[in-house]
Structure 1
């Protein structure tokens, strides 16, 4: 493959904006909804305290497992072939990078959704804050950085050089 310099900033900009939307704006919006509902006393617990505690701990474990699983899946997704043809290398790379980023971001955003579900089942604002914090910490580990993008570019160039391309299912 001919040596062309891929603009890493162009590669990262859209995925990072989607990350801000899905992993900062959505959890903050959910947090605002929870705050409003709690202040207006609209929601009341629908579970007895013992059942709530069990569900709380289950969702905490699921949230942490979700963050770890997202990190593992991120490695698998980004270091698999994303390029369809050598001619469309940069466009395929940008599309694949965005697609894979959105998958990872959605998994991390689910952590905040777990907190919202827990609130609906009888939780409080502080519990929602905990899940939003876990979500934002996971986002910091998942979001793509400049060095990571360069490694992905190198891996994709290697795959193209080996003749390994993304094959679509028909």
Structure 2
């Protein structure tokens, strides 16, 4: 049985992880351009254009795959035995959230890479915004953990 205290502890931990990853996106947008404005990385324009198209494509594929992977992790059957003190629903939800948030963060990193190589802030802003939108979609929700716990208790 999932207690309210376990639920609150798990959700607050996930909110801290979520906040840290969103804060890293802000670092990409505000700090990276200031620190890297004088860097002299030269990248051929043709290669940059190819890389740009590839990373934008990978970003959208990552966005779609993130949704499927998260659903797959959450839909997996309940564990047969408890290996830790944490409720299995919290464990499973935490795993799904960390995977989804890490994959969403990768989209922002693609923008940072493009900024480093091409000094195009539009790429940085667009891919970071896409990353932030995905992270907003995967914000930790109590209702999801409760429904997962109910599903695990039925079995």
Q: Under a length normalisation based on structure 1, what TM-score does the superposition of the two structures give?
A: 0.76
Q: Work out whether residues 108 and 135 of structure 1, in 8 Å CA contact, stay in contact via their aligned partners in 2.
A: yes
Q: Do the aligned partners of residues 86 and 37 (structure 1) sit closer, same or farther apart at CA in structure 2, a change above 3 Å counting?
A: closer
Question: CA RMSD for the aligned pairs?
Answer: 2.4
The CA distance in 1 between the partners of 2:46 and 2:83, in whole Å, is 60
Give the equivalent residue in structure 1 for 2:8. 9
Out of 150, 156, 167, the residue aligned to residue 152 of structure 2 is 156
Q: Work out whether residues 88 and 149 of structure 2, in 8 Å CA contact, stay in contact via their aligned partners in 1.
A: no
Q: Where do 5+ consecutive residues of structure 1 fail to align?
A: 162-170
Q: Where do 5+ consecutive residues of structure 2 fail to align?
A: none
The CA distance in 1 between the partners of 2:31 and 2:83, in whole Å, is 47
Moved over 3 A (4+): 8-11, 81-84, 86-90
Higher CA-based Rg:
1
The CA distance in 2 between the partners of 1:129 and 1:82, in whole Å, is 40
Q: Work out whether residues 115 and 121 of structure 2, in 8 Å CA contact, stay in contact via their aligned partners in 1.
A: yes
Query: Do residues 49 (structure 1) and 45 (structure 2) align?
Result: yes
Give the equivalent residue in structure 1 for 2:128. 132
Aligned length: 153
Deviation at residue 95 of structure 1 after TM alignment: 2.7
Q: Under a length normalisation based on structure 2, what TM-score does the superposition of the two structures give?
A: 0.82
Out of 5, 9, 31, the residue aligned to residue 29 of structure 2 is 31
